[in-house]
A and B are shown apart, each in its own frame.
Chain A
C-alpha cells in the first residue's frame, strides 16, 4: 500500500516537473527575462573576419594571430562558463559587397553565434545594417570611422574600440605640448574616408587649440600609391612646422623610407597617427623625434609589468616571433569583450546560458580588463572609448627598432567625445 502510494506520488512529481519544463520553455519563447535562459550549447561559434589576402594582410594576420592565441587560452581555462569557443576565420578582402555576402554566409550557412570583424571602415558601414536585419550579434574590432554610431543606431552591433577622433585629438594635444610655438601645419593623407576624416579632425583640433596656426599644404595621394617623391618635394618646399599623416600599411613605410634620407623628418615635426604598427618593420632606419600614435594605448612597453599585458606580449611573441601591434590589441579587446558580456549575462541569469537579448543587454555599458592592464568601457551607444598614447621615436640598444620616448597618456575622457555628442561638434565646442 505504502509502496503503491509512493509510486503514485513519484509519478505525480515527474508529471509536475515535465509540465513545469514545458511551461518554462513556452515562457522562454514568450520572453520574460527571468525565464529566458537557455540550455548551454556545445560550443560558441564565432565568425572572425580580417584581411587574410591583399595589402591589408599586414593588419589582418596580426589580428587573426591575437584571436587564435586568446581563444586557445580561454578554451584551456574552460571557455565561457564551460562552453568552448570555436572560431571560423574568413577573409575580409574583396570589398564591401563581398563582405555583406560573406557575412550572410557565416550567419546562414556556417550558423555562427556571432561575428567579430572588419578592419576597413567601408566594410563596417556595409555590414552593420545586415547584422541588424539578420539579428546577429556583431562586434566591430578595428575599423575607425566615427560615422558608424554617430549617424545610426544599432541594436546588434558593437565596437570594442574608440573611433579615429581619438588619434587626431591626441595628436593635436601632443604636438602642442612638444612644439607649443607651431605656426604652420600640413597634411599628407590617403585619399579616402579614413585619410580625409583623420585630417579633418586633426586640422579642426589644431585650429581650435591654436587659432593662429596656418595650413600650408593638404596632400591627397591615392591609397597604396607607394611612391611619394613629388609629395615629399612639395612638403620640402612648403617647410611646415608640423606634418600630419594618418598613413598606414606599406604607404607609411614608403613615406619613411623616401622621406628620411631627403630630410623630411629633420625639417618638420612629423606626426604619424597610426605609426606604431610599422616600427618593427622599419627597424633602425626609423628617424628619431617622430611623433607616433598607436590608435589607442596599444604599445607593448606601456604598463609592461601588468600581468595581463605581460602574458599577452610574451605569449604572442613566443608564438609569432614579433611583438603584438595595435590590430592585435584591438582583436584582444573584441574577444575579451564577448567573453565578459556573456559572463556578465550568465551571472545576471543565475548561471544559465544567456539569450541573445541578455548578452546584448550585458554588453551595453560593460567594463572589463584588457592589456595594457586597464578597463575597457563600452558605452550605451555601443562604441568603446579608450585612452590614447603618443610618443617620440628614439632608438634603444635593447630593441632592434625605435621605441617611444616622452610618452604621454591621454585619459579616455580627454580624447573621446562625450556620449551622444558628434565628434566635430565636440571639437568645435572646446573653450580656448
Chain B
C-alpha cells in the first residue's frame, strides 16, 4: 500500500516537471510545425535567468517568499527576450522548408545558445536551493516530501489549464487555432500570421523557461542541462502525439508513473522504461496517443 502511494505520488511529481518542459515544445510544433531542438536551451536559459535573479534577490535581504516571484520573473524575461529574437531572425526564413533544414537550423541554434550561456554565466555550476527547502516538508505514507514538489504539481496543472483555456477562449487563441489549421486561409482572412507565429513561439519559449526556472532549485544549473531536458521532452511529446497539449499531459503522466514504479520495483531497468513505453506506443499508434492523422493536401 505504502509503496503504491509512493509510486503514484513520485510519478505525478515527475510528470509535473516533464509536462512543464514538454508543453512549450508541443505548442510550438502544433502551431508552427517546427520541431525545435533548441527547446532544451530555452529551458536552460530560464534555469540560469531564474537562478541568477533569485541569487541577486536573496542578496538584497528582502522577504524570502518573494524569491518565488524572482524565479518566475527570470523565466518570463528570458523567454520574452529570446523568443521573438529567435523567431524573427532564425525561424522566419525556414517555415515550410524541408524538415531536415529546420532540424539543422534549430540544432545550430542549440549549439549557439549553449555557447551564449557559457559566455554569460561561465562553466561553474549555479546553485540555489532555498526555494526548494524553504517551504518545509510533509510526510505522506511515511515518506517525507518537500512542499515545493507538491507546489510544482499545482503549477504544472495551472499551466496546463491556463494554456488550454487561452487557446480555446481568447481571440488570440482562436487565431492560433486558425493558423494551425491552415496558414494560407488564415492569412486571407486578415490574420497577421507572422505575429501569431512570433507570439506562439514566445509563449513556447516562456513555458520552456518556466520549466527550467522551476526545476533549477532541485538541480545543479551547469552546462549540459539542456540536452537531458530536450531528450525527455521529446519522448513525452512523441508518446502523447506531437502538437497536442493533452497528449503532452498524458505522456508525462505515463512516463512519470512508469519510471517511479521501475525505481521502486525493478531499478535495474529504470533507464529503459521511458523508451520501452515510447516504442510500445509508437508500434500501435505511430502518431502518438493524441496525434491526429494528417490528410494529404493537394
User: Footprint of B on A, CB under 8 Å?
Assistant: 53-58, 61, 191, 217-222, 224-227, 229-231, 233-234, 236-237, 249-251, 253-254, 257-258, 260-263, 278, 281-283, 285, 322
Asked if B222 and A237 make an inter-chain contact with CB atoms under 8 angstroms apart, the answer reads no
Interfacial chain A residues near B215, Cβ < 8 Å: 226-227
Known interface pairs A55-B222, A55-B223, A262-B146. Does A233 touch B6 (Cβ–Cβ under 8 Å)?
A: yes
Interface string of B253-275 (1 = CB under 8 A from A): 00000011001100110110000
Asked if B3 and A217 make an inter-chain contact with CB atoms under 8 angstroms apart, the answer reads no
Interfacial chain A residues near B6, Cβ < 8 Å: 233-234, 237
**Cα A61 to Cα B124 with chains together (Å):** 9
User: Footprint of A on B, CB under 8 Å?
Assistant: 2-3, 6-7, 9-11, 13-14, 17, 114-115, 118, 123-125, 127, 129, 132-133, 136-137, 142-146, 149, 215, 217-225, 227-228, 259-260, 263-264, 267-268, 270-271
Which among A57, A226, A253, A322 has the greatest number of chain B C-beta atoms within 10 A?
A226
Q: Which 10 A-B pairs have the closest CB atoms?
A: A55-B224, A250-B220, A253-B220, A230-B10, A230-B263, A57-B123, A226-B219, A261-B133, A230-B260, A254-B219
**Cα A254 to Cα B264 with chains together (Å):** 19
Asked if B228 and A219 make an inter-chain contact with CB atoms under 8 angstroms apart, the answer reads no
A227-B17, A233-B10 known; 16 new pairs, CB 8 Å cut-off, are A54-B223, A57-B118, A219-B263, A220-B267, A221-B263, A226-B218, A229-B10, A230-B14, A230-B259, A236-B144, A237-B143, A250-B224, A251-B220, A261-B132, A262-B145, A283-B127
Asked if B114 and A53 make an inter-chain contact with CB atoms under 8 angstroms apart, the answer reads yes
**Cα A224 to Cα B224 with chains together (Å):** 9
Known interface pairs A229-B149, A234-B263. Does A257 touch B228 (Cβ–Cβ under 8 Å)?
A: no
Interfacial chain B residues near A220, Cβ < 8 Å: 267-268, 270-271
Minimal beta-carbon separation of B40 from chain A (angstroms): 12
**Cα A110 to Cα B6 with chains together (Å):** 56
Interfacial chain B residues near A261, Cβ < 8 Å: 132-133, 136-137, 146
Asked if A263 and B259 make an inter-chain contact with CB atoms under 8 angstroms apart, the answer reads no
| Nearest-neighbor residue (CB-CB) of A236 within chain B | B143
Asked if A54 and B129 make an inter-chain contact with CB atoms under 8 angstroms apart, the answer reads no
Asked if B124 and A285 make an inter-chain contact with CB atoms under 8 angstroms apart, the answer reads no
Interfacial chain B residues near A61, Cβ < 8 Å: 123-124
Interfacial chain B residues near A283, Cβ < 8 Å: 127
Minimal beta-carbon separation of B34 from chain A (angstroms): 25
Known interface pairs A222-B270, A236-B144. Does A253 touch B127 (Cβ–Cβ under 8 Å)?
A: yes
Asked if A253 and B219 make an inter-chain contact with CB atoms under 8 angstroms apart, the answer reads yes
Asked if A281 and B223 make an inter-chain contact with CB atoms under 8 angstroms apart, the answer reads no
Interfacial chain B residues near A191, Cβ < 8 Å: 270-271
Asked if B123 and A227 make an inter-chain contact with CB atoms under 8 angstroms apart, the answer reads no
**Cα A230 to Cα B264 with chains together (Å):** 8
Known interface pairs A61-B123, A229-B10, A261-B133. Does A250 touch B270 (Cβ–Cβ under 8 Å)?
A: no
Minimal beta-carbon separation of A217 from chain B (angstroms): 7
Interfacial chain A residues near B132, Cβ < 8 Å: 257-258, 261
| Nearest-neighbor residue (CB-CB) of A257 within chain B | B129
Asked if A58 and B123 make an inter-chain contact with CB atoms under 8 angstroms apart, the answer reads yes
| Nearest-neighbor residue (CB-CB) of A188 within chain B | B267
Known interface pairs A237-B2, A254-B218, A263-B144. Does A285 touch B133 (Cβ–Cβ under 8 Å)?
A: yes
Minimal beta-carbon separation of A250 from chain B (angstroms): 3
Interfacial chain B residues near A226, Cβ < 8 Å: 215, 218-220, 225, 228
Minimal beta-carbon separation of B296 from chain A (angstroms): 39
Minimal beta-carbon separation of B278 from chain A (angstroms): 15
Asked if A250 and B264 make an inter-chain contact with CB atoms under 8 angstroms apart, the answer reads no
Minimal beta-carbon separation of A134 from chain B (angstroms): 30
**Cα A56 to Cα B123 with chains together (Å):** 9
